[in-house]
Chain A
């Protein structure tokens, strides 16, 4: 059987006259979805596959689809006659635009046979002259296909007994999963390379049968690590040949990979006798190489020529290219891809040193793959949107850097001395912040709007609908704090199912039932404070805030509401508040204990009236005032009328309900004239440097946070709580009585959470918290008179399913945001999640739940 090689990603042009058997061939060797047939598209646009007048429209539609497939990296077969060079030109152009290889497969069936086949087909009623002309066109173009831009040309006179084999692209090293040591630009710094390899744990050994000019020096790693060189092995430095030898031998031994650098290519061209300008350190390479015999120089040239533009490793998660690579070019091949890999993306302008100004592709990079590159010397390697430049200018007296992957650790060997003078000084950037932080000052609208699918660790994917993003954009832009600070938004919380007791909406029984049913053994019941939800971020000082959060506003912390709005309108008040929290954290010893310079706390800030005063003035208090006045007048008047007096008791009951309502909200209000009138009840220590503490039990959170209350009892309130084993009915009963006491005294109620913080049950994520609210408190939510006989039965018909789904998604997004922040992901990745929480909040859900 004959093998026919086709690259795994390519545009395959089938070429052959009508009746040559192209479509049959395509069907035998490719998936139906991979084949775009001109006949089929003629049919799609005109209902008639043979309507030649539909050809232009058919091809427009065909090419539209072709481009969509190529953007997505899918091999595609164009099944049309393609006999004239102008037909094929467009195919080659599209392939080039998408950096895919163009493959020509010519089905060269004898003309006689084609004529016979066409005559047998009732739907092909064109004359013999058509096929004759096609045949002539085909023959004329056959020899020029490579010149036209087809990288693979197969001419088949017999299509039987044949197998199409998909071959991986040269750049595809996805099966290589590492671990890797990725090493920056060498430029002849062999001594530094040896030291670096040693430091990385590599061992030097001699090859048994050394070949010239490569010598015997080789290195291997006892743990099977592989090395990846980012190119520019040569020029400028003192030991160009040694570098070439070591790298080549490691590659040949299967221990290393190397991509081409611009200097490597230029040296190769010099070796091949091309005219190149001997400058930028090429002279050092020439000085070492010139004495070698021509055969050995040829070996060097072939080696350099074998270096390819870039590699894709580890199932697509790692890309290495000399000057970096934008996502649309990963794993692609074209002249443009090679140019990008060698030189980066330039704007066409030059700077005051005559060097090309580079377009900052990394600032716009949005890909999932980590891109490691070199080429432009920088003072230190810095992550930017999952890309990193590890050329730390060894040859210019900097250091030779290695990136350990997947560990993401850097290791650098300082250069023994400066071997060359940089054309442009390697200066640190003016801003004290990291490049990522400077880059994060501006977020891109494309990263938050439209329909978004966000992958989270806890809940697989969360979809944000475009219309919800619209609402969130306005809130985020007009009211929220600086996104640098906004690393978390708390999720909504579902109540327990409606109580079986007819006079209650919520009662602890159902709350405990939920967790029991979902296989949670231990829960924690926390008193629910009635204040305003507040996220408090506190840093050791303003420098720590700038260093970790990339803010330049001089704040050393912030306090914001559940929709991301600043809690304190007055900056002085905020900074005094943060300073006081910070003092308590210092007293409690958290900075050292958690090895952190910042903390993120999830809290309730009281009194309710502090943040909700406007709401109280505009809504809650007026309802009480008008209700009491109106009902008092009604009772009084009814009492005066003998015929209507029997209505008095009903109105008296209404009046007492509205009075109870007023008492309910009054409990959560007190005047705030200074900082000491606030009470802060933290209940989650969400995150600190390097850690999101959702893997710790609520017992840990409660115990730890109680120490803040001990440090500053004036500001902090320790949340009363109790643990309950939900199978133990005695404990459940005791907790229920506790709830009765709390709510009997006017408390809001309690929040019940799985002790382990995050629990997965048979149906996925268990609710991270359920609230069980008191009967009196609920007047504020369901209306003053909700307990009336004509209201409660109706209100009991409520469903918590939508609320729970929402709570689970928001919780997953919130935790994801923190995890991304802690792992130092670009801000847009964090922002995407908090933006998502805000967007989900605009989903229509009964707000009383």
Chain B
């Protein structure tokens, strides 16, 4: 990976050789620095009063790269070649003085606005060129991004996620390095070290003065902190607090304040969840009406329905099942199983299991809920689920929700013929779902009725649909 920083003289009062002082590296020398994970070389390809270009070339020790690898793909990866957190760590070590905004010999240069260019080969940018522009333009850079071909032999494979990034600006070296330091890992979206609370400090320290005003603040925080919600909340809270302190000292009025920005961001986060929340609330309310005392949450995922049921003491026993062991671990954490009061703890059971296998542990419950589960199964394997659920588990009530395919045309971003989720194996129209559910009811001795889930469109129905099965034939 290679980072080039160039200064170009724009008038006689400037001297491009100042870059050497600012970076604290002599243009005449090759600087070789051993790092824990490899070797960095700093050298200049040109050094004159008109133009000066410094290069940081980083080679990663291959042993470092495979540390802790378990999957084959971890052995064949782009880490040695792209600008990642390795580069920013190297940046911090090698240009530490400049990054700290210091210059011993020529302190007056630190605040000098210079004509600077930075070229990064190669950056991986999730979200494409658009993200590069969104991140750097608000900071005053002119962004030039050249996308690399994935493989010119196979144009049908599409484009690569890589760019040669060229940033130009008139600004301080300190700002340039700071922005690169924070934003390169944001582009790459991966870090080679553990991201903990220290990372929040680091982000806020280097983001001081610009992060709070950056329109993509939310994106930067989220990616920099690897989407760890607890850390993101901390960062946002501290930014808001800093902004409040600033506000108090500043004049009233002006642009949108940081708290407003944070509130908007929160709304953004919540918006996509409303349908699911609605669905869960509807199922939970129905279970209450049915007076089910023991409930199976089949395909419980991370335990959102369980949490709702737990809040109501009328549910004496709630058993969540999922095929993913990882989901159950997260559910156990979210439900705080380890620290729950014994009386509460007794009411929950989380088990790993599959709806395609008969399971004695599923017998004897009042009700079972399958919230957005069946569409994740191959249609050919539904025959197993049908018997496992209706014949063997045989709860008194069964609640099944699944997307209504007719509604898909109302999602503006969903291409025609595509499913809502990449793992959906099918999505049913209302007629298809009702046909299946009615056949199940007849075959296994249940009666069934249907409810829409979510706001109903007169033509396409509601986004999701719910079938309520009751054991025994309706009178």
Spell out A's residues near B (CB within 8 Å).
Answer: 441-448, 470-471, 473-474, 476-478, 481-482, 552-553, 609, 613, 615-617, 619-627, 629-631, 633-634, 637-638, 640-641, 643-644, 647, 662, 666, 669, 671, 780-785, 788, 790-791, 794, 844, 847-848
Contact = CB atoms under 8 A, between A and B. Distances in A.
Interface in B1-57: 1-2, 4, 28-30, 41, 43-46, 55, 57
B353 A445 contact: yes
A844 B69 CA distance: 11
Interface in B426-471: none
6 contacts: A473-B323, A615-B73, A621-B154, A629-B162, A640-B46, A647-B57
B126 interface: no
Contacts of B70: 844, 847
B80 A847 contact: no
B76 A783 contact: yes
Contacts of A785: 62, 80
Interface in B366-389: 376, 378, 380-381, 383-384, 387-388
Contacts of B1: 630
A442 B358 CA distance: 6
B421 interface: no
B370 to A, nearest CB: 14
A622 B28 contact: no
A512 B81 CA distance: 39
Contacts of A625: 148-151, 160, 162
Contact of A441 (B4, B157, B162, B383): B383
B63 interface: yes
A478 B156 contact: no
Contacts of A629: 81, 121-122, 148, 162, 164
A443 B357 contact: yes
B359 A626 contact: no
Interface residues of B, number: 66
B388 A634 contact: no
A626 B354 contact: no
Nearest to B356: A477
Given A473-B352, A473-B354, A641-B43, A622 B150 contact: yes
Contacts of A441: 383-384, 387
Given A625-B160, A627-B81, A638 B76 contact: no
A626 B76 contact: no
A626 B124 contact: yes
Contact of B72 (A448, A476, A669, A781): A781
A631 B57 CA distance: 10
A476 B354 contact: yes
Contacts of B289: none
B242 interface: no
Nearest to A623: B78
Given A633-B121, A847-B71, 7 more contacts: A443-B356, A444-B357, A445-B353, A625-B162, A626-B81, A630-B121, A634-B2
Given A442-B384, A442-B388, A621 B62 contact: no
Contacts of A476: 354, 356
B77 interface: yes
A445 B55 contact: no
B187 interface: no
A443 B388 CA distance: 9
B198 to A, nearest CB: 29
Interface string B136-169: 0000000000001111011011101110100000
Contacts of A613: 157
Contacts of A482: 378, 380-381
Nearest to B354: A477
A383 B31 CA distance: 80
Contacts of A553: 380
B392 interface: yes
Contacts of A641: 30, 43-45, 55
A623 B122 CA distance: 11
A477 B382 CA distance: 11
A666 B154 CA distance: 9
Nearest to A555: B380
A662 B82 contact: no
B157 A626 contact: no
B75 interface: yes
B325 A474 contact: yes
B263 to A, nearest CB: 37
Q: Which 6 residue pairs spanning A and B have beta carbons closest together?
A: A640-B45, A630-B81, A477-B354, A644-B43, A445-B357, A633-B121
Contacts of B380: 481-482, 553
Contacts of B383: 441, 552
A802 B138 CA distance: 55
Nearest to B164: A629
Contacts of A621: 150-151, 154, 157, 160
Contact of A474 (B148, B151, B323): B323
B443 to A, nearest CB: 12
B387 A630 contact: no
Given A444-B357, A626-B162, A666 B151 contact: yes
Interface in B156-206: 156-158, 160-162, 164
Contact of B77 (A481, A619, A630, A794): A619
B312 to A, nearest CB: 29
A444 B391 CA distance: 13
Contacts of A622: 78, 124, 150, 160-162
Contact of A445 (B43, B149, B325, B359): B359
A663 to B, nearest CB: 10
A566 to B, nearest CB: 8
A625 B157 CA distance: 12
B360 interface: yes
Most chain B CB within 10 A, of A626, A627, A638, A788, is at A626
B324 interface: yes
A669 B55 CA distance: 37
B42 to A, nearest CB: 9
A382 B70 CA distance: 48
Contacts of B387: 441-442
B355 interface: yes
Contacts of B41: 644, 647
Contact of A783 (B62, B378, B388): B62
Nearest to A617: B157
Contact of A790 (B44, B62, B160, B356): B62
A640 B27 CA distance: 13
Given A445-B353, A619-B73, A627 B153 contact: no
A623 B150 CA distance: 9
A473 B30 CA distance: 56
Contacts of B355: 477
B358 A671 contact: no
B154 A848 contact: no
A617 B150 contact: yes
Contacts of B358: 442-445
Contacts of A644: 30, 41, 43, 55, 57
Contacts of B62: 783, 785, 788, 790-791, 794
A781 B66 CA distance: 13
A626 B75 contact: no
Contact of A471 (B43, B55, B122, B325): B325
A785 B75 CA distance: 11
A643 B31 CA distance: 10
A605 B209 CA distance: 58
Given A477-B354, A640-B46, A641-B44, A446 B360 contact: yes
B350 to A, nearest CB: 13
Contacts of B44: 641, 643
Contacts of A623: 76-78, 81
B325 A627 contact: no
B154 A671 contact: yes
A439 to B, nearest CB: 10
Given A441-B387, A626-B148, A630-B1, A474 B324 contact: yes
Nearest to B162: A626
